[in-house]
Structure 1
Amino acid sequence: MTQSFKASIALFGATGDLSRRKLLPSMFHLFQEGSLTHDFAILAIGRKDMNDEDFREVARTSLQDNEKLESLEGLDSFLSCIHYVQVDITDVDSYSTLKDKFESVESSVDTEGNRLFYLAMPPQFFTVITDNLRRSGVTETKGYKKLIIEKPFGRDYESAYRLNQDISKTFEEHEIYRIDHYLGKEMVQNIEVIRFSNSLFEPLWNNHYISNIQITSSESLGVLDRGEYYERSGAVRDMFQNHMLQIVSLLGMEPPISLSSDDIRDEKIKVLKSIRKIDKKDVKNHFVRGQYDEGTVDGEYVCKYRDEEDVSETSNTPTFIAARLFIDNFRWAGVPFYIRTGKRMRNKETKIVVEFKEVPKNLYYQNEQDDILSKNLLILRIQPDESISLQLNVKDHGSEKDTKEIKLSYAIDNKDLARTVDAYENLIYDCLNGDAANFTHYEELMNAWQFVDSINQVWETDIAPFPNYRAGSDGPVKSNLLLSKDGFKWWNV
């Protein structure tokens, strides 16, 4: 990242956890790398009564405590570019202070009038803030104006539609960047490169050669102090509707005619439109939900979900979901995409496993019951250890067996990982650069909600026999049946 950008970044929720742990370190690292120079400013917006120096000390502590930063070189220079602005976000008159601060900064710093608004806020404040930015004239500038907003973007199709209508009064679609931090992860961005730059894979990337694709995103942690939020969202809204379906669209898309954000998004939208809609009566045949019980994780006892803080004792909220999806188009007809995501599971990991079909006739069967050949698998490990591996069969020297399994693997070097401190850094850089490919377009969002709504409607009216999986396990036993009835299994590789 060597391109330098000129902009003022208004950071709403600057004193919050996301800003301190992710956003400020990401911006500081961009500053260290030269993508942000002295022709930029951060306007840290909050309700607390603070001045510039007070907030700079908060930022200094956050950056000093961040383990991913290799050095603090340039810290004082970076902090001098931060200005604190006290704003009551619900009071339009309070935004005059923000407007004055923008004008003051832009008179001394060459930002070219470019203004980026980052809403690290709960979604109920999105419309309030964008409306007040428009009414107060803060969005009237000689440069560009852009908006970054965090998920969740709505609770269902209707609420997402209304929210977008409201925000669109202030920002046009090309100015809105709906952030999905999964799309900023190195190995997720590698999906397109692996597919479209290797003649080894693209000719095989279809139903003639692939038997199934599995996407797993598991967490060993519970809901921690986010019980109130999680009760409203659950695994479907928190992970499946956004992160998981975005990965499905990247894996399933056709080669775009270029790497422009519009061309990539067009192909992703086609995938989301092609996902087979599930009738409410068939939800149980394609989806499994779960909620964690008490158990042991990393050698320590942990409580069940219903005993977590701010969680109902009779909660019907799923903390786990497994799904079997089909993309009904020419390339993927008949190939199941299996997805599972949950909390308090055995491991913290996110991975993609592509299982290739067996050879037409296996010459290395000694008899019908003895399957010697291992499956050919392509494994993309997104976290915690970013890597790519390809599982093959080779001759087994000095053994009674004819073959053995090997893995050709590549792990991203720590030096390469150090280029960014977090996925948010990649996404902030892309936004400043005007590259929206790794952000969620309105049509992607609405197609995802349209698919998910029928599942939520069934589950919200049907009481589940929770809890149904122990903390520290791989989830409900029924999730295995989704695959076994098709002749497959979850790959724990």
Structure 2
Amino acid sequence: MTRDRSASGTIPSMESTHEVLKDNTIIIVFGASGDLAKKKTFPALFTLLRQDFLPRDVKIVGYARTKMDKEEFHKRITSYIKNPNDDPEIAAKIEKFKSISTYVPGDYDDGAAFDNLNQYLEEIESSYQSKERHRLFYLALPPSVFIPVCKNVKEHCYIKKNGINRIIIEKPFGKDLESARELLGTVKKYWSEDETFRIDHYLGKEMVKNLLVLRFANIALSAAWDKNSVSNVQITFKEPFGTEGRGGYFDEFGIIRDVLQNHLLQVLSVLAMERPVSFSAEDIRDEKVKVLRAIPPIEPKDTLLGQYVSANGKPGYLDDDTVPRNSVCPTYAATTLWIHNPRWEGVPFILKAGKALNEAKVEVRIQFKEVTQGIFSDISRNELVIRIQPSEAVYLKINAKTPGLQTRAMPTEMDLTYKRRFLHAKIPEAYEALILDALNGDHSNFVRHDELDVAWKIFTPILHWIDGLNGQRPRPVPYPYGSRGPKELEAFVEKYGFKRANAGYVWPIASLASL
């Protein structure tokens, strides 16, 4: 890997010991008729094609149970591709995208159907000038069919020589420690860890990837990144809508499995890990696993559960016809994790996630300890806020003198808002970054098997408590649709040392609307 740095201090890209798939590559998308493929996978592939990041002469093959002709397939895979103002350049790329994309129908548990798929792939590969050929299999599928697809692909569609096979698997990876280990173990019978790329798309988000740079390329921040300076850390996920007809699926998993155990825990691991010795994937993932191993299982006393009820003209969770009657599935959860290592001992990490709240937001809020009392009293604490989405930003809340003849401190901010600082930069979608990583053989932003195992160890006891496996299921507290969450939340976070800023401070996010 090239180690040269430019005059601007460019950081070298992540190391990869794997071959980059540049030529003779087919990307096979399983679940090609589903929402995930339509809304995320195919638009990401199109953007990579438009920006010339896909391998030369790449072919894309969709596979699903649904019977459809080429025209219907092309309409489906381009339905979420945006072309503002009917840009002819984008229109031409869309036509090219259609020309390299084809579809094969078939079942997921039928070996003969995969033989048919393999024959089709070999027909495409017969036109290659060299014997070299590569296949990237993307499972945009529910976990119920992961195992048969992994098995059938390996037994019927695997290139045994003169080529590279890679497989991308979507979350959720199980429902608890036991089911995750069963899934992991079965997949590993067919696919090596080196060939497997487990997606948690939060690891592909620009601001999560930025955490490595913020932490380890800024001595001013890294010096205060420990228990001596930090009072508490909150990682927050908010959605302004409810289940909206997907209650049956959601009720099976709940908010903790859906968001906290994967997305927010991944953010925590990058926030809290020690400095890796290099940018290689395994060095980074080693440090993430170390910090997760220092976290004990979550306890009920450190958890607040909520379920939204009708308000503001919106229906409650139990009003959704797809939700089981009298369900006690939480749609909101706040839970506190403790990291027992020298850097973080005693610092609470509060993970919060909920549906049907007052806004859409994902952010990290690191609140520092209070200044020494004396000449200053009742002053706002410093906070470092990392806005992951929307309106990506990093801002440090500080105290400064108000302009004028009086000496009085007021809270303000040192603000790096991306839309203002990087006027012409395009922030890539997470799936674009992760598919490109898989093509490049870079595992840095994918979940390793032991990382997944220890993550489930942290959450399984609290999930079994919520599921009633150890007795009666806890009943979540109600909160109104469109609110900030349960009214008990304020006391919950204050219990762990969070101190709300003095009244009157508002980060000027409203001004972003004009940008």
Using the TM superposition, give the Cα deviation of residue 332 of structure 1 relative to its aligned residue in structure 2, in angstroms.
0.4
CA distance in 2, matches of 1:68, 1:13: 29
Q: 1:410 to 1:174 in 2, by over 3 A?
A: same
1:432 is the counterpart of 2:446:
no
Q: Which amino acid aligns with 2:75?
A: E
Q: Distance in 2 between matches of 1:490 and 1:340?
A: 16
Q: Quick one: distance in 2 between partners of 1:342 and 1:324?
A: 15
**What is the SS of the residue equivalent to 2:39?**
helix
How far apart, CA to CA, are the structure 1 residues paired with 2:135 and 2:180?
25
Change (3 A) 1:338 1:490: farther
**Partner of residue 408, structure 1:** 414
- The answer as to whether partners of 2:270 and 2:288 remain within 8 angstroms in 1 is yes
Q: Following TM superposition, by how much is the alpha carbon of 1:212 offset from its aligned partner in structure 2, in angstroms?
A: 0.9
CA–CA separation in structure 1 for the residues paired with 2:86 and 2:412:
33
- Per-residue CA distance 1:50-88 (angstroms, 9 max, x = gap): 344442233334425799999444222221111211221
Show CA shifts across 1:139-175 (max 9, x none).
Answer: 5352111111111110111111111111112110111
Query: Matches of 1:477 and 1:165 in 2, distance apart?
Result: 42
Q: CA deviation at 1:401?
A: 4.9
2:22 corresponds to which residue? 5
Distance in structure 2 (CA, Å) of the matches to 1:50 and 1:404:
63
| Length, aligned pairs only | 477
- TM-score of the aligned structures, taking structure 1 as reference length: 0.91
Give 2:426's aligned residue: 418
Decide whether aligned partners of structure 1 residues 65 and 157 sit closer, same or farther in structure 2, where only a CA change above 3 A counts: farther
Partner Cα separation in structure 2 for residue 310 and residue 290 of structure 1? 19
Would the aligned equivalents of 2:42 and 2:78 in 1 still touch at CA under 8 Å? Answer: no
SS of 1:359's partner is coil
Indicate the SS of the match to 2:220. coil
Is 1:332–2:344 an aligned residue pair? yes
Q: Distance in 2 between matches of 1:475 and 1:58?
A: 37
Moved more, 182-191 or 456-465: 456-465
Task: Render the CA deviation track for 1:306-342: whole Å, top value 9, x for unaligned.
Answer: 1113101210111111011110000001111111100
What is the SS of the residue equivalent to 2:269? helix
Query: The residue matched to 1:108 in structure 2 has which SS?
Result: coil
352-361 vs 125-134, greater mean Cα deviation: 352-361
Q: Does 1:224 align with 2:244?
A: yes
- In the other structure, the counterpart of 1:453 is 460
CA 1:265–1:342 in structure 2 vs 1: closer, same or farther (change >3 Å)? same
User: In 2 relative to 1, CA 349–68 (structure 1 residues): closer, same or farther, beyond 3 Å?
Assistant: farther
Structure 2 unmatched runs, 5+: 1-12, 14-19, 508-515
Q: 2:38 aligns with which of 20, 24, 31?
A: 20
Closer, same or farther in 2 for the Cα pair 1:68/1:10, shift >3 Å? farther
Q: Mean Cα displacement is larger for which, 66-75 or 438-447?
A: 66-75
Write out the 4+ residue segments of structure 1 that deviate beyond 6 Å after TM superposition: 65-70
TM-aligned CA deviation for residue 197 of structure 1: 0.6
Match in the other structure for 1:484 = 494
Partner of 2:309: 293
Query: In 1, are the aligned partners of 2:304 and 2:333 still within 8 Å (CA)?
Result: yes
Q: Which residue of 2 aligns with 1:395?
A: 401
Q: Deviation at 1:258?
A: 0.5
Contact kept, 8 Å, 2:305 with 2:476, in 1: the verdict is: no
> In the TM superposition, what are the counterparts of 1:89-168 in structure 2 within 5 Å?
89-109=108-128, 112-168=132-188
Task: Say whether residues 1:379 and 2:399 are aligned partners.
Answer: no
How many Å separate the matches in 2 of 1:320 and 1:66?
A: 36
SS of equivalent to 2:57: strand
Q: CA–CA distance in 1 between the matches of 2:32 and 2:83?
A: 17
For residues 16-50 of structure 1, what are the alpha-carbon distances to aligned partners after superposition, in whole Å with 9 as ceiling and x for unaligned? 11111111111111111111154211011122333
Distance (whole Å) between structure 2 residues aligned to residue 24 and residue 302 of structure 1 = 33
Change over 3 Å in CA distance of 1:448–1:125 after alignment to 2: same
Question: Does the alignment pair 1:59 with 2:77?
Answer: yes
CA gap of 1:381–1:100, structure 2 versus 1, over 3 A, is: same
- Partner SS, residue 214 of structure 2: helix
1:192 paired to 2:212 = yes
Kindly tell me: are residues 376 and 362 of structure 1, through their superposed partners in 2, closer, same or farther at Cα, counting changes over 3 Å? farther
Residue 295 of structure 1, CA deviation: 1.3
Q: Could you tell me whether the CA contact under 8 Å between 2:216 and 2:275 is conserved in 1?
A: yes
Equivalent residue in structure 2 for 1:303, among 301, 315, 325: 315
- Which sections of structure 1, spanning at least 5 residues, go unmatched? 366-370
- Contact persistence 2:297–2:459 (CA under 8 A): no
Distance between the aligned counterparts of 2:474 and 2:245, measured in 1?
24
Question: 3-state SS of the aligned residue for 1:330?
Answer: coil
Q: CA deviation at 1:467?
A: 5.2
2:483 to 464, 469, 473: 473
> Residues 489 and 65 of structure 1: is their aligned pair in 2 closer, same or farther, counting only changes over 3 Å?
farther
- Counterparts of 2:254 and 2:170 in 1: how far apart (Å)? 17
Of 220, 224, 231, 1:211 maps to 231
Amino acid at match of 2:103: Y
- Cα distance between partner residues in 1 of 2:462 and 2:32: 36
2:363 alignment partner, SS class: strand
Letter in 2 for 1:116: L
Deviation at 1:417, TM superposition (A): 5.3
Instruction: Calculate the aligned-residue CA RMSD, in Å.
Output: 2.3
Deviation of the 1:489 alpha carbon = 4.0
- Could you tell me which residue of structure 2 aligns to residue 245 of structure 1? 265
Question: What is aligned with 1:368?
Answer: none
- CA distance 1:26–1:476, change in 2 (3 Å): same
TM-score normalized with structure 2 length: 0.88
CA distance in 2, matches of 1:325, 1:32: 42
Moved more, 139-148 or 307-316: 139-148
Give yes or no for contact 1:215–1:339 (8 Å, CA) kept in 2: yes
Do the aligned partners of 2:38 and 2:79 also contact (CA within 8 Å) in 1?
no
Does the 8 Å contact 2:83/2:90 carry over to 1? no
Q: Which moved more, 1:194-203 or 1:478-487?
A: 478-487
Distance 1:393 1:399 in 2: 17
Letter in 2 for 1:446: D
Q: Is the 8 A contact 1:114 1:141 kept in 2?
A: no
Instruction: Give the Cα separation in 2 of the matches to 1:419 and 1:474.
Output: 28
Distance 2:125 2:423 in 1: 36
1:347 Cα deviation from its structure 2 partner: 1.1
